[in-house]
Protein backbone atom coordinates (compact mmCIF):
# COMPACT_ATOMS: atom_id res chain seq x y z
CA UNK A 1 0.00 0.00 0.00
CA UNK A 2 1.21 3.51 -0.87
CA UNK A 3 0.94 6.85 0.88
CA UNK A 4 -0.99 9.75 -0.60
CA UNK A 5 1.04 12.52 -2.21
CA UNK A 6 -0.24 15.09 0.29
CA UNK A 7 2.14 13.73 2.94
CA UNK A 8 -0.60 12.57 5.27
CA UNK A 9 -0.71 9.24 7.02
CA UNK A 10 -3.74 8.21 4.96
CA UNK A 11 -3.02 5.11 2.92
CA UNK A 12 -4.04 5.25 -0.74
CA UNK A 13 -5.88 2.27 -2.12
CA UNK A 14 -4.76 0.59 -5.30
CA UNK A 15 -6.84 1.83 -8.27
CA UNK A 16 -8.09 -0.95 -10.56
CA UNK A 17 -9.71 -0.15 -13.92
CA UNK A 18 -12.95 -2.14 -14.16
CA UNK A 19 -13.22 -3.66 -17.67
CA UNK A 20 -10.60 -1.03 -18.65
CA UNK A 21 -11.40 2.69 -18.57
CA UNK A 22 -14.93 1.56 -19.31
CA UNK A 23 -16.74 4.83 -18.53
CA UNK A 24 -14.95 6.34 -21.54
CA UNK A 25 -14.20 3.46 -23.88
CA UNK A 26 -16.09 0.31 -24.87
CA UNK A 27 -15.45 -2.20 -22.07
CA UNK A 28 -13.06 -5.14 -22.41
CA UNK A 29 -11.38 -3.73 -25.51
CA UNK A 30 -7.68 -3.25 -25.96
CA UNK A 31 -8.40 0.48 -26.33
CA UNK A 32 -10.15 0.54 -22.92
CA UNK A 33 -7.15 -1.10 -21.28
CA UNK A 34 -4.63 1.13 -23.05
CA UNK A 35 -6.56 4.16 -21.82
CA UNK A 36 -6.68 2.76 -18.29
CA UNK A 37 -2.90 2.43 -18.27
CA UNK A 38 -2.56 5.97 -19.68
CA UNK A 39 -4.99 7.17 -16.97
CA UNK A 40 -2.69 5.86 -14.24
CA UNK A 41 -4.53 2.72 -13.14
CA UNK A 42 -2.42 0.47 -10.92
CA UNK A 43 -4.21 -2.60 -12.21
CA UNK A 44 -6.76 -3.74 -14.77
CA UNK A 45 -9.84 -5.87 -14.16
CA UNK A 46 -11.28 -8.26 -16.74
CA UNK A 47 -13.93 -10.94 -16.91
CA UNK A 48 -13.08 -14.16 -18.72
CA UNK A 49 -15.18 -16.84 -20.41
CA UNK A 50 -14.28 -19.94 -22.39
CA UNK A 51 -15.15 -20.18 -26.08
CA UNK A 52 -16.41 -23.45 -27.56
CA UNK A 53 -12.90 -24.23 -28.78
CA UNK A 54 -11.32 -23.53 -25.39
CA UNK A 55 -9.96 -19.97 -25.61
CA UNK A 56 -10.29 -17.53 -22.74
CA UNK A 57 -11.85 -14.28 -23.95
CA UNK A 58 -12.60 -11.05 -22.11
CA UNK A 59 -16.39 -10.74 -22.18
CA UNK A 60 -18.64 -9.91 -19.24
CA UNK A 61 -22.04 -11.18 -20.41
CA UNK A 62 -23.04 -14.72 -21.29
CA UNK A 63 -23.96 -13.42 -24.74
CA UNK A 64 -22.09 -11.07 -27.07
CA UNK A 65 -25.22 -9.08 -28.02
CA UNK A 66 -24.74 -6.08 -25.72
CA UNK A 67 -21.07 -5.41 -26.44
CA UNK A 68 -20.63 -6.31 -30.10
CA UNK A 69 -22.39 -6.20 -33.45
CA UNK A 70 -23.04 -9.95 -33.25
CA UNK A 71 -25.39 -12.29 -31.46
CA UNK A 72 -24.93 -15.52 -29.57
CA UNK A 73 -23.63 -17.20 -26.44
CA UNK A 74 -19.85 -16.97 -25.96
CA UNK A 75 -19.48 -20.62 -24.95
CA UNK A 76 -21.17 -21.79 -28.18
CA UNK A 77 -18.97 -19.68 -30.46
CA UNK A 78 -15.42 -20.28 -31.61
CA UNK A 79 -12.62 -17.76 -31.32
CA UNK A 80 -12.62 -17.30 -35.10
CA UNK A 81 -16.32 -16.30 -34.96
CA UNK A 82 -15.69 -13.81 -32.17
CA UNK A 83 -12.69 -12.34 -33.96
CA UNK A 84 -15.00 -11.27 -36.83
CA UNK A 85 -17.23 -9.19 -34.55
CA UNK A 86 -16.77 -5.53 -33.71
CA UNK A 87 -16.46 -5.01 -29.94
CA UNK A 88 -15.31 -1.38 -30.32
CA UNK A 89 -18.20 0.47 -31.91
CA UNK A 90 -21.21 -0.55 -29.82
CA UNK A 91 -20.69 2.20 -27.26
CA UNK A 92 -21.84 4.71 -29.86
CA UNK A 93 -21.13 8.29 -30.80
CA UNK A 94 -19.48 10.48 -28.23
CA UNK A 95 -17.35 7.67 -26.89
CA UNK A 96 -13.67 7.45 -27.59
CA UNK A 97 -13.14 5.11 -30.49
CA UNK A 98 -9.77 3.60 -31.16
CA UNK A 99 -8.94 5.60 -34.25
CA UNK A 100 -6.46 3.91 -36.48
CA UNK A 101 -7.06 0.54 -34.86
CA UNK A 102 -7.54 -1.99 -37.58
CA UNK A 103 -10.43 -4.37 -37.77
CA UNK A 104 -8.40 -7.24 -36.27
CA UNK A 105 -8.01 -5.31 -33.06
CA UNK A 106 -11.78 -4.70 -32.85
CA UNK A 107 -12.54 -8.40 -32.57
CA UNK A 108 -12.89 -10.03 -29.20
CA UNK A 109 -10.02 -9.39 -26.80
CA UNK A 110 -8.36 -12.63 -25.74
CA UNK A 111 -6.85 -12.95 -22.30
CA UNK A 112 -3.62 -13.93 -24.04
CA UNK A 113 -3.53 -10.53 -25.81
CA UNK A 114 -4.37 -8.67 -22.59
CA UNK A 115 -1.54 -10.45 -20.79
CA UNK A 116 0.80 -9.31 -23.57
CA UNK A 117 -0.36 -5.73 -22.99
CA UNK A 118 0.22 -5.99 -19.25
CA UNK A 119 3.68 -7.48 -19.71
CA UNK A 120 4.71 -4.86 -22.25
CA UNK A 121 3.44 -1.83 -20.30
CA UNK A 122 6.08 0.83 -19.64
CA UNK A 123 5.47 0.54 -15.89
CA UNK A 124 4.32 -2.29 -13.60
CA UNK A 125 0.59 -2.92 -14.04
CA UNK A 126 -1.31 -5.75 -12.38
CA UNK A 127 -4.23 -7.75 -13.71
CA UNK A 128 -7.28 -8.88 -11.70
CA UNK A 129 -8.94 -11.70 -13.65
CA UNK A 130 -12.52 -12.62 -12.80
CA UNK A 131 -13.70 -16.05 -13.94
CA UNK A 132 -17.35 -15.85 -14.97
CA UNK A 133 -19.60 -18.82 -14.10
CA UNK A 134 -16.66 -21.20 -13.81
CA UNK A 135 -18.63 -23.90 -11.98
CA UNK A 136 -20.45 -24.73 -15.22
CA UNK A 137 -17.16 -26.01 -16.67
CA UNK A 138 -16.12 -28.33 -13.81
CA UNK A 139 -12.58 -27.01 -13.52
CA UNK A 140 -11.85 -26.42 -17.21
CA UNK A 141 -11.82 -22.63 -16.86
CA UNK A 142 -9.34 -22.80 -13.99
CA UNK A 143 -7.08 -25.29 -15.78
CA UNK A 144 -7.11 -23.23 -18.99
CA UNK A 145 -6.42 -20.08 -17.03
CA UNK A 146 -3.40 -21.47 -15.18
CA UNK A 147 -2.06 -23.05 -18.37
CA UNK A 148 -2.21 -19.65 -20.08
CA UNK A 149 -0.69 -17.84 -17.09
CA UNK A 150 2.09 -20.45 -17.01
CA UNK A 151 2.83 -19.70 -20.67
CA UNK A 152 3.26 -16.04 -19.69
CA UNK A 153 5.30 -16.98 -16.60
CA UNK A 154 2.70 -15.41 -14.32
CA UNK A 155 1.04 -18.34 -12.51
CA UNK A 156 3.64 -19.01 -9.86
CA UNK A 157 4.92 -15.94 -8.04
CA UNK A 158 7.77 -16.65 -5.67
CA UNK A 159 7.00 -16.30 -1.93
CA UNK A 160 7.21 -12.64 -0.96
CA UNK A 161 7.12 -11.49 -4.59
CA UNK A 162 4.25 -9.19 -5.64
CA UNK A 163 2.16 -11.13 -8.12
CA UNK A 164 1.27 -9.43 -11.41
CA UNK A 165 -1.95 -11.43 -11.58
CA UNK A 166 -4.72 -12.19 -9.12
CA UNK A 167 -7.84 -14.25 -9.66
CA UNK A 168 -11.29 -13.17 -8.50
CA UNK A 169 -14.59 -15.03 -8.44
CA UNK A 170 -18.00 -15.09 -6.83
CA UNK A 171 -17.43 -18.84 -6.55
CA UNK A 172 -15.21 -19.94 -3.68
CA UNK A 173 -15.13 -23.42 -5.26
CA UNK A 174 -13.52 -21.95 -8.37
CA UNK A 175 -10.99 -20.06 -6.25
CA UNK A 176 -10.16 -23.21 -4.31
CA UNK A 177 -9.49 -25.00 -7.58
CA UNK A 178 -7.16 -22.21 -8.72
CA UNK A 179 -5.37 -22.38 -5.37
CA UNK A 180 -4.85 -26.11 -5.76
CA UNK A 181 -3.35 -25.82 -9.24
CA UNK A 182 -1.32 -22.67 -8.61
CA UNK A 183 -0.70 -22.14 -4.91
CA UNK A 184 0.65 -18.66 -4.31
CA UNK A 185 -1.55 -16.91 -6.83
CA UNK A 186 -3.53 -14.23 -4.94
CA UNK A 187 -7.28 -14.96 -4.76
CA UNK A 188 -10.21 -12.63 -4.10
CA UNK A 189 -13.71 -13.79 -3.21
CA UNK A 190 -16.39 -11.43 -4.51
CA UNK A 191 -19.79 -10.86 -2.97
CA UNK A 192 -22.62 -8.36 -2.91
CA UNK A 193 -25.88 -7.54 -1.13
CA UNK A 194 -27.73 -9.35 -3.89
CA UNK A 195 -25.55 -12.47 -3.60
CA UNK A 196 -26.07 -12.55 0.14
CA UNK A 197 -29.83 -12.35 -0.25
CA UNK A 198 -30.17 -8.86 1.19
CA UNK A 199 -33.22 -6.92 0.08
CA UNK A 200 -33.32 -3.15 -0.44
CA UNK A 201 -32.29 -1.37 2.70
CA UNK A 202 -31.88 -4.30 5.08
CA UNK A 203 -30.46 -7.75 5.43
CA UNK A 204 -33.18 -10.35 5.26
CA UNK A 205 -31.51 -13.72 4.93
CA UNK A 206 -28.21 -12.78 6.54
CA UNK A 207 -28.03 -11.74 10.18
CA UNK A 208 -25.25 -9.67 11.75
CA UNK A 209 -23.30 -12.56 13.29
CA UNK A 210 -23.48 -14.45 9.99
CA UNK A 211 -22.06 -11.39 8.23
CA UNK A 212 -19.22 -11.24 10.75
CA UNK A 213 -18.51 -14.90 10.11
CA UNK A 214 -18.52 -14.38 6.36
CA UNK A 215 -14.87 -13.46 6.21
CA UNK A 216 -13.86 -15.91 8.93
CA UNK A 217 -15.45 -18.69 6.89
CA UNK A 218 -13.28 -18.05 3.83
CA UNK A 219 -10.73 -20.78 3.06
CA UNK A 220 -7.26 -19.86 4.30
CA UNK A 221 -5.84 -19.53 0.77
CA UNK A 222 -8.26 -16.76 -0.17
CA UNK A 223 -6.51 -13.59 0.90
CA UNK A 224 -8.88 -11.03 -0.59
CA UNK A 225 -12.46 -10.13 0.27
CA UNK A 226 -14.36 -8.26 -2.47
CA UNK A 227 -17.65 -6.68 -1.39
CA UNK A 228 -19.71 -4.47 -3.69
CA UNK A 229 -19.89 -0.80 -2.76
CA UNK A 230 -23.59 -1.29 -1.94
CA UNK A 231 -22.71 -3.94 0.65
CA UNK A 232 -19.93 -1.78 2.05
CA UNK A 233 -22.22 1.25 2.47
CA UNK A 234 -24.56 -0.89 4.51
CA UNK A 235 -21.93 -2.87 6.39
CA UNK A 236 -18.78 -0.71 6.70
CA UNK A 237 -17.73 -2.89 9.65
CA UNK A 238 -16.82 -5.62 7.16
CA UNK A 239 -13.55 -3.83 6.39
CA UNK A 240 -12.30 -4.09 9.94
CA UNK A 241 -13.60 -7.65 10.18
CA UNK A 242 -11.65 -8.57 7.06
CA UNK A 243 -8.49 -6.82 8.19
CA UNK A 244 -8.67 -8.50 11.58
CA UNK A 245 -8.64 -11.82 9.74
CA UNK A 246 -5.73 -10.80 7.52
CA UNK A 247 -7.82 -10.26 4.36
CA UNK A 248 -7.27 -7.32 2.01
CA UNK A 249 -10.50 -5.57 0.97
CA UNK A 250 -11.20 -5.00 -2.76
CA UNK A 251 -14.35 -2.89 -3.31
CA UNK A 252 -16.28 -2.62 -6.58
CA UNK A 253 -17.47 -0.51 -8.32
CA UNK A 254 -16.28 2.80 -6.88
CA UNK A 255 -17.13 5.60 -9.32
CA UNK A 256 -18.52 8.38 -7.10
CA UNK A 257 -16.35 10.78 -5.04
CA UNK A 258 -18.40 10.05 -1.90
CA UNK A 259 -17.82 6.33 -2.32
CA UNK A 260 -14.07 6.81 -2.70
CA UNK A 261 -14.15 8.99 0.44
CA UNK A 262 -15.93 6.19 2.31
CA UNK A 263 -13.35 3.67 1.12
CA UNK A 264 -10.53 5.95 2.26
CA UNK A 265 -12.12 6.51 5.66
CA UNK A 266 -12.50 2.77 6.14
CA UNK A 267 -8.99 1.92 4.97
CA UNK A 268 -10.06 -0.15 1.95
CA UNK A 269 -7.04 -1.65 0.18
CA UNK A 270 -8.23 -1.77 -3.44
CA UNK A 271 -10.89 0.23 -5.32
CA UNK A 272 -12.21 -1.11 -8.62
CA UNK A 273 -13.60 1.65 -10.86
CA UNK A 274 -14.89 2.42 -14.34
CA UNK A 275 -13.27 5.87 -13.97
CA UNK A 276 -9.58 5.43 -13.11
CA UNK A 277 -8.64 8.97 -14.23
CA UNK A 278 -11.28 10.61 -12.01
CA UNK A 279 -10.31 8.55 -8.96
CA UNK A 280 -6.63 9.14 -9.54
CA UNK A 281 -7.21 12.91 -9.65
CA UNK A 282 -9.42 12.82 -6.53
CA UNK A 283 -6.66 10.96 -4.70
CA UNK A 284 -4.10 13.54 -5.80
CA UNK A 285 -6.26 16.38 -4.44
CA UNK A 286 -6.45 14.81 -0.97
O1 LIG B 1 -14.67 -6.42 -9.86
C2 LIG B 1 -15.77 -7.17 -9.48
C3 LIG B 1 -16.92 -6.87 -10.37
O4 LIG B 1 -16.46 -6.77 -11.69
C5 LIG B 1 -17.99 -7.91 -10.28
O6 LIG B 1 -19.13 -7.58 -10.99
O7 LIG B 1 -20.69 -7.90 -12.86
O8 LIG B 1 -18.96 -6.14 -13.00
O9 LIG B 1 -18.32 -8.53 -13.16
P10 LIG B 1 -19.26 -7.55 -12.58
CA1 LIG C 1 -15.98 -8.36 -13.31
- The alpha carbon of 253 and the centre of ligand 1 are apart by a number of angstroms equal to 7
Q: What does the pLDDT read at residue 190?
A: 97
What backbone torsions phi and psi does residue 226 show, to the nearest 5 degrees? -120, 80
Q: What does the pLDDT read at residue 100?
A: 54
What's the burial of 205, exposed, middle or buried (CB within 10 Å: 0-12/13-18/19+)? exposed
CB atoms within 10 A of CB 217: 11
pTM assigned to the model: 0.92
Residue 170 Cα: closest atom of ligand 1: 5
Q: What does the pLDDT read at residue 5?
A: 44
Q: Which of 30, 140, 145, 9 is nearest to 88 (CA)?
A: 30
Tell me which residue range forms the domain holding 16.
2-62+110-285
Residue of the CA atom closest to atom 2 of ligand 1: 252
Q: What does the pLDDT read at residue 128?
A: 99
In tens, the pLDDT along 160-178 reads 899 999 999 999 999 999 9
70: in domain: no
Mutation probe of ligand 1 site: the residue of 27, 32, 47 with most atoms within 8 A of C-beta:
47
Cα distances from 59 to residues 36, 110, 211, 217, 257, in angstroms, run 17, 9, 31, 30, 28
259: in domain: yes
Rounded to whole angstroms, how far apart are CA atoms 100 and 245? 49
Rounded to whole angstroms, how far apart are CA atoms 112 and 99? 23
- How many domains, in total, are found in the chain? 1
Residue 190 Cα: closest atom of ligand 1: 2
99: in domain: no
Mutation probe of ligand 1 site: the residue of 253, 255, 270, 272 with most atoms within 8 A of C-beta:
253
CB atoms within 10 A of CB 282: 16
Query: For residue 121, what are the contacts with CB-CB under 8 A and spacing of at least 6?
Result: 37
Residue 250 Cα: closest atom of ligand 1: 1
Rounded to whole angstroms, how far apart are CA atoms 229 and 198? 14
Complex ipTM over 0.90: yes
- The alpha carbon of 47 and the centre of ligand 2 are apart by a number of angstroms equal to 5
Rounded to whole angstroms, how far apart are CA atoms 19 and 26? 9
Q: What does the pLDDT read at residue 82?
A: 97
The number of the ligand nearest the C-alpha atom of 130 reads 2
Q: What does the pLDDT read at residue 90?
A: 73
Q: Which residues of the chain have pLDDT under 50?
A: 1-8, 93-95, 209
89: in domain: no
CATH number at residue 58: 3.20.20.190
69: in domain: no
- Secondary structure class of 166 (helix, strand, coil): strand
* Catalytically annotated residues: 18, 60
- Secondary structure class of 72 (helix, strand, coil): coil
Q: What does the pLDDT read at residue 163?
A: 97
105: in domain: no
157: in domain: yes
Q: What does the pLDDT read at residue 97?
A: 54
Cα 240 to the center of its chain, rounded Å:
22
Cα 76 to the center of its chain, rounded Å:
24
Cα distances from 201 to residues 225, 235, 260, in angstroms, run 22, 11, 21
Contact 31, 24 (CB under 8 A): no
Residues with CB under 6 A from ligand 1: 18, 45, 47, 60, 130, 190, 252, 272
Q: What does the pLDDT read at residue 269?
A: 98
Q: Which of 156, 180, 178 is nearest to 167 (CA)?
A: 178
Total residues found in the chain within this entry: 286
80: in domain: no
> How many degrees, rounded to 5, is the angle at CA 159 between CA 46 and CA 268?
50
Amino acid sequence: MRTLAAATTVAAPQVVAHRGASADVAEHTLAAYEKAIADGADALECDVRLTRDGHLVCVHDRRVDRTSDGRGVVSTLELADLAQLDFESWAGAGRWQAEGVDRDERGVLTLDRLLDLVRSADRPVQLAIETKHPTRWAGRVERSLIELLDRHGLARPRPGEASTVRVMSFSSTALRRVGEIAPGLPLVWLTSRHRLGMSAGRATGVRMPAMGGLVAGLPAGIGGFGPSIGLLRERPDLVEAAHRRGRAVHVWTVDEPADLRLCLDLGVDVVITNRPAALRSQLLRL
